[in-house]
């Protein structure tokens, strides 16, 4: 096979989706709205939504039109595009505490840039993290990651104030605390207050990794929803609605530090991603997207909760928040069996974190998802 591991995106491997290598569907040729077509032409309702990268639906007309126009305009060039400043201004208007923005292509890059900026501003190396922040060295362990790099990071438990405060006390001077504001459940007000107060008291910077939550929980993410202002924020995924773009932003007190360290990428300012993001921001401004996602998410979450009660021998619970949620299963084997059974019935449903709602997930679609999942769970329970 010319692609080791089947595909370049780890979470799209059959073994990740279904718990086995031989399960179908494994390759797709088209997506539209909240539906996907595989290589055999079979249609599926999708709740994986490109791992959360699509909130307006696949092939949204406004976003597609903007991207096509940008491609026709040459896609990239030797000078800074006018569009870059325009999109930065739009982002700064909706992200709490943000007065400047730098663009990148992936969420992993954006969070790494935030950490780099915090380290430059504090002249400290140690960091505290909570959640998943990508595949780069600074936040990973295992093969190929230098032990010296791993030793600079300490992972803490989500919504655990004592663990947070203990880590700051024990680890000495830290550069930043980096958190995903949703990890399997909503953050408590106490947790968010402790993050803000503890980082300030430690002379460190608070970084919100809102790659999944921005433009889904609220336009400005959990920071907007819960009225807490981080020092730095990373956004991506739904910002481009399927086109590669991410951003790091912060307040005036960190502007100088952005320029004292090197953050640059050849394609950070290509036109297509910027044009897509601009169109996405316009749609969120003009339409009640956040409300629609909350409503459809509430429907999906209620459906999953009912199924968990009915099939307690298979399902152990429901995790996440309405806009991004999933079932937990008694065993890995059962989670794979349910995802396979769902796919056989025309539904792509992630067996672990997360399933995402998008604008095309109408009440009728959510009802259909519930019917398929119940049928799949019933089939697995009889095996």
pLDDT digits (tens, 9 = 90+) for 218-234: 999 999 999 999 999 99
Show which of 244, 270, 296 is a domain's final residue. 270
* Omega before 78 within 30 of 0, i.e. cis: no
Cα 7 → chain centroid: 19
183 and 95, same structural domain? yes
Query: What's 225's domain CATH number?
Result: 3.40.640.10
Q: Is residue 181 part of a domain?
A: yes
119 and 30, same structural domain? no
pLDDT at 61 over 90: yes
What backbone torsions phi and psi does residue 274 show, to the nearest 5 degrees? -65, -45
150 and 3, same structural domain? no
Q: Is residue 262 part of a domain?
A: yes
Q: State residue 272's pLDDT score.
A: 98
Q: State residue 97's pLDDT score.
A: 98
39 and 98, same structural domain? no
Show which of 270, 286, 320 is a domain's final residue. 270
Position of tokens 């998943």? 132
Q: Is residue 31 part of a domain?
A: yes
134 and 37, same structural domain? no
113 and 169, same structural domain? yes
Alpha-carbon distance 262 to 109, whole Å?
Answer: 13
Alpha-carbon distance 187 to 321, whole Å?
Answer: 10
pLDDT digits (tens, 9 = 90+) for 184-215: 999 999 999 999 999 999 999 999 999 999 99
Q: State residue 1's pLDDT score.
A: 82
Alpha-carbon distance 316 to 305, whole Å?
Answer: 10
Alpha-carbon distance 192 to 15, whole Å?
Answer: 35
Show which of 270, 297, 315 is a domain's final residue. 270
142 and 241, same structural domain? yes
38 and 170, same structural domain? no
Q: State residue 102's pLDDT score.
A: 98
Q: Is residue 243 part of a domain?
A: yes
Contacts of 226 (CB under 8 A, 6+ apart): 181, 187, 189, 192
95 and 38, same structural domain? no
Q: Is residue 324 part of a domain?
A: no
Average pLDDT for residues 103-121, to the nearest whole number? Answer: 98
247 and 127, same structural domain? yes
The kind and range of the H/E element at 365 are helix 363-381
pLDDT at 336 over 90: yes
pLDDT at 161 over 90: yes
Q: Is residue 177 part of a domain?
A: yes
Q: Is residue 215 part of a domain?
A: yes
22 and 164, same structural domain? no
Average pLDDT for residues 83-102, to the nearest whole number? Answer: 98
Structural domain count, the chain = 2
Q: State residue 5's pLDDT score.
A: 95
pTM of the model: 0.97
41 and 94, same structural domain? no
Q: What percent of the chain stands above pLDDT 70?
A: 100
Q: Is residue 350 part of a domain?
A: no
Position of tokens 């990148």? 104
Q: Residue 48: exposed, middle, or buried by beta-carbon count in 10 A (0-12, 13-18, 19+)?
A: buried
Q: Which structural domain range is residue 33 located in?
A: 1-46
Q: State residue 383's pLDDT score.
A: 85
pLDDT at 24 over 90: no
Q: What percent of the chain stands above pLDDT 90?
A: 98
pLDDT digits (tens, 9 = 90+) for 244-253: 999 999 999 9
Alpha-carbon distance 233 to 207, whole Å?
Answer: 6
pLDDT at 114 over 90: yes
């Amino acid at each position: 096979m010319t692609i080791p591991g089947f595909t370049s995106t780890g979470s799209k491997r059959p073994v990740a989706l279904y718990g086995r290598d031989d399960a179908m569907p494994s390759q797709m040729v088209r997506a539209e709205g909240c539906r996907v077509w595989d290589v055999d032409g079979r249609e599926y309702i999708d709740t994986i939504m490109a791992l959360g990268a699509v909130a307006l639906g696949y092939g949204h007309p406004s976003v597609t039109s903007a991207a096509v126009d940008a491609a026709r305009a040459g896609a990239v060039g030797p000078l800074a595009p006018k569009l870059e400043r325009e999109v930065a201004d739009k982002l700064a208007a909706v992200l709490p505490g943000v007065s400047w923005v730098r663009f990148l292509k992936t969420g992993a890059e954006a969070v790494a840039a935030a950490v780099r900026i915090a380290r430059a501003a504090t002249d400290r190396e140690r960091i505290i993290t909570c959640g998943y922040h990508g595949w780069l060295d600074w936040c990973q362990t295992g093969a190929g990651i230098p032990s010296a790099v791993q030793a600079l990071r300490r992972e803490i438990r989500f919504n655990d104030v004592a663990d947070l405060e203990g880590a700051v006390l024990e680890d000495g001077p830290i550069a930043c605390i980096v958190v995903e504001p949703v990890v399997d459940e909503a953050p408590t007000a106490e947790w968010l207050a402790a993050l803000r107060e503890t980082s300030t008291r430690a002379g460190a910077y608070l970084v919100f990794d809102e790659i999944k939550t921005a433009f889904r929980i609220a336009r400005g993410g959990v920071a907007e929803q819960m009225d807490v202002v981080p020092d730095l924020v990373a956004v991506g995924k739904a910002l481009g609605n399927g086109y590669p773009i991410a951003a790091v932003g912060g307040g005036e007190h960190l502007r100088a530090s952005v320029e004292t360290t090197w953050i640059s990428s050849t394609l950070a300012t290509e036109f297509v991603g910027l044009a897509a993001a601009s169109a996405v921001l316009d749609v969120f401004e003009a339409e009640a997207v956040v409300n629609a996602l909350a409503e459809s998410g509430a429907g999906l979450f209620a459906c999953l909760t009912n199924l968990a009660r009915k099939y307690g021998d298979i399902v152990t619970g429901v995790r996440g928040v309405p806009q991004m949620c999933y079932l937990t299963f008694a065993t890995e084997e059962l989670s794979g069996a349910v995802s396979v059974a769902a796919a056989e019935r025309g539904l792509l449903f992630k067996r672990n974190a997360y399933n995402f709602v998008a604008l095309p997930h109408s009440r009728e679609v959510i009802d259909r998802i519930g019917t398929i999942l119940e049928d799949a769970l019933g089939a697995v329970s009889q095996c």
